[in-house]
Amino acid sequence: DAKTTQPTSMDCAEGRAANLPCNHSTISGNEYVYWYRQIHSQGPQYIIHGLKNNETNEMASLIITEDRKSSTLILPHATLRDTAVYYCIVIQAGTALIFGKGTTLSVSS
């Protein structure tokens, strides 16, 4: 599986957009980009996934570069409850998620 690189931590003010980057320069053509987050002492929560096109759902937007070597997760209006560890994972469909260290996002008022 392709590896991903994420910043260790990021800060965001409440109400502002949180933009979380992820590099996946060795991604293969049949691999998807998945984003999960884990709030302290809970199981990971699915956020969004994509292959080539940008995606948006009720939680976030996913922007994938044209060469697919990087992506950005956007939380449009961050709240205190968005404080969590965010994981960017690149996998083939249906295979196990392998978690890296993720980005710890701290949202403050």
Partner 1 sequence: GAVVSQHPSWVICKSGTSVKIECRSLDFQATTMFWYRQFPKQSLMLMATSNEGSKATYEQGVEKDKFLINHASLTLSTLTVTSAHPEDSSFYICSAHSERTFASLSPQHFGDGTRLSIL
Site string for partner 1, 7-46 (x = CB under 8 A): -------------------------x-x-x-x--xxxxxx
Does 52 participate in binding partner 1 (rule CB under 8 A)? no
Closer to partner 1 by Cβ: residue 14 or 49? 49
Q: Which is nearer to partner 1, 21 or 99 (CB)?
A: 99
49 binds partner 1 (CB under 8 A): yes
Q: Do 25 and 33 touch, CB atoms closer than 8 A?
A: no
Paired tokens of 17: 């957009």
CB 68 within 8 A of CB 88: no
